[in-house]
């Protein structure tokens, strides 16, 4: 009996879903080419609902921060590292992958064992404020990496000459909706406002949600018929700080978020990389509320999208009254006509072909 093709994916997912979403898109493209392939995910954090919805098996890995509380004080740092190393080693020994795909930053204790497996290794790394550090890591800490995938167009990210031969610019990578027919959703008679904060795991995300909820309440006093959905994200933990208002449904996870966003009359979101990339495929009005991030400049990203696309607006304020004005302006342009959608980028397909070429 032939050994089934097994490719292990390891996204960093302690507070957000973008890394998981990107590797899911690549795994979807591989599954279209190799339907019998085993494509398990080893994830740090709670991206399980996203993976289950996409139909991929996953194992939850502990992150170092989870072993840092007082409840672990009886174990030394060396003992805690040993536990994580053994967990990673056990999983990889049993899965026996032919390829391992990391999305930067890679899980350090898995990298240690992958070195000993001697299988092709892939690193997917997008443009961030710390991209230089990521590529230096690929040069010095893990020079065994065989393939580096950059989900941007050529020239958008500087690549050190030493790793240029192993680096491929594949273009944007977007996860496809699992909606069967991918037809345009039917809009309801009532205007729909959708609020999303991606994975929702960043501390302070509740402030963004409460701002959106307050603005929605004001908009509803003007337009009582409007409805709302707030998708908090599977990593959101600040539930007790949410200030609930009438007329909006709050859910931790939407298995068909893409369809919900397409059905919306206005989307209020932060300016995460994957969130804006996925929204750029639709023509739904989008109000971006950039959040401060260490590795990203969300304000800069949101402004770039607003310059290129008429349906994107940047809201860099904390006033619910002003955000309400933005919502009402978007709803005033509401139309029942179908909006054409942009074709999805081909980055995931290019990445899949490059990964599979490592096995030839």
Written in H, E and C, the secondary structure of 7-54 is EEEECECCCCCHHHHHHHHHHHHHHHHCCCCECCEEEECCCHHHHHHH
Contacts of 313 (CB under 8 A, 6+ apart): 285, 286, 287, 288, 306, 326, 330
Residue entry with tokens 């599954």: 31
Give the residue carrying structure tokens 């690193």: 123
**219-276 pLDDT per residue, tens:** 999 999 999 999 999 889 999 999 999 999 999 999 888 889 989 999 999 999 999 9
- The C-alpha atoms of residue 142 and residue 146 are separated, in whole angstroms, by 10
* DSSP class of 6: B
Question: What pLDDT is stored for residue 181 in this prediction?
Answer: 47
Alpha helices by DSSP H, the chain? 18-33, 48-54, 77-95, 108-117, 131-140, 205-222, 257-263, 273-279, 298-308, 320-332, 347-357
Q: What is the pLDDT of residues 86-128, one digit of tens each?
A: 888 999 999 999 999 999 888 888 888 888 888 999 999 998 8
Buried b (16+ CB within 10 A) or exposed e, 121-158: bbbbbbbbebbeebbebbeeebeebebbbbbbeeeebe
Q: 12-21: buried (b, 16+ CB within 10 Å) or exposed (e) per residue?
A: bbbbbbbbbb
List the single range of 20-24, 72-76, 100-104 with lowest mean pLDDT: 72-76
Q: How much is the pTM?
A: 0.89
Mean predicted confidence (pLDDT) in 275-298: 90
Q: What is the DSSP letter of 151?
A: S
Peptide bond preceding 105: is omega within 30 degrees of 0, i.e. cis? yes
CA 12, distance to chain mean position in Å, is 10
What gap in Å lies between CA 98 and CA 359, rounded to an integer? 8
Look at the block and give the residue holding tokens 């990889």: 92
Handedness of CA 185, 345, 295, 69 (dihedral sign): positive
Residue with tokens 């770039």: 304
Residues with Cβ within 8 Å of residue 138, at least 6 apart in sequence: 123, 125, 145, 148, 163
Strand order in the sheet with 58-61: 58-61, 41-44, 7-10, 99-103, 121-124, 147-150, 167-169
Domains in the chain, start-ordered, CATH in brackets? 7-174+345-357 (3.40.50.2000), 192-332 (3.40.50.2000)
Contact (CB, 8 A) for 151 and 171: yes
CA distance 194 to 263: 9
Greatest alpha-carbon pair distance for the chain in Å reads: 67
194-205 b/e (C-beta count within 10 Å ≥ 16 → b): bbbbbbbbbeeb
Summarize the confidence of residues 8-37 as an average pLDDT.
Answer: 90
Write out pLDDT tens, residues 295-339.
Answer: 788 999 999 999 999 999 999 999 999 999 999 999 988 765 556
């Amino acid at each position: 009996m032939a050994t089934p093709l097994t490719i292990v994916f390891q996204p960093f997912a302690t507070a957000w879903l973008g890394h998981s979403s990107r590797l899911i898109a690549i795994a979807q493209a591989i599954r279209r080419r190799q339907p019998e392939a085993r494509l398990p995910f080893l994830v740090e954090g709670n991206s399980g609902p996203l993976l289950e919805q996409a139909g991929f098996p996953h194992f939850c890995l502990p992150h170092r921060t989870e072993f840092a509380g007082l409840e672990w004080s009886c174990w030394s740092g060396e003992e805690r590292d040993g536990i994580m190393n053994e967990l990673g080693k056990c999983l990889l020994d049993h899965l026996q992958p032919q390829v391992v795909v990391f999305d930067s930053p890679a899980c350090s204790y898995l990298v240690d064992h992958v070195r000993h497996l001697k299988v092709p290794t892939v690193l997917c790394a997008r443009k961030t404020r710390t991209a230089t550090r990521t590529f230096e890591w690929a040069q010095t800490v893990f020079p065994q990496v065989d393939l580096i995938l950059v989900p941007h167009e050529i020239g958008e990210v500087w690549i050190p000459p030493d790793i240029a031969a192993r680096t491929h610019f594949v273009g944007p990578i977007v996860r496809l909706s699992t909606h069967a027919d991918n037809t345009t959703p039917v809009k309801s008679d009532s205007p729909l406002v959708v609020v999303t904060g991606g994975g929702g795991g960043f501390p302070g995300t509740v402030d963004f949600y409460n701002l959106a909820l307050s603005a929605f309440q004001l908009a509803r006093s003007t337009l009582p018929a409007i409805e709302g959905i707030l998708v908090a994200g599977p990593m959101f933990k600040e539930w007790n700080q949410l200030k609930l208002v009438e007329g909006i449904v709050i859910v931790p996870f939407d298995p068909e978020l893409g369809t919900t966003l397409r059905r919306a009359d206005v989307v209020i979101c932060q300016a995460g990389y994957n969130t804006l990339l996925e929204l750029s495929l639709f023509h739904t009005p989008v109000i971006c509320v950039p959040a401060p991030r260490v590795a990203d400049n969300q304000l800069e990203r949101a402004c770039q999208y607003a310059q290129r696309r008429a349906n994107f607006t940047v809201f860099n304020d904390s006033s619910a009254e002003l955000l309400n004005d933005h919502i009402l302006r978007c709803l005033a342009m509401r139309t029942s006509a179908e909006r054409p959608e942009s074709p999805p980028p081909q980055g995931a397909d290019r990445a899949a072909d490059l990964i599979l070429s490592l096995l030839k």
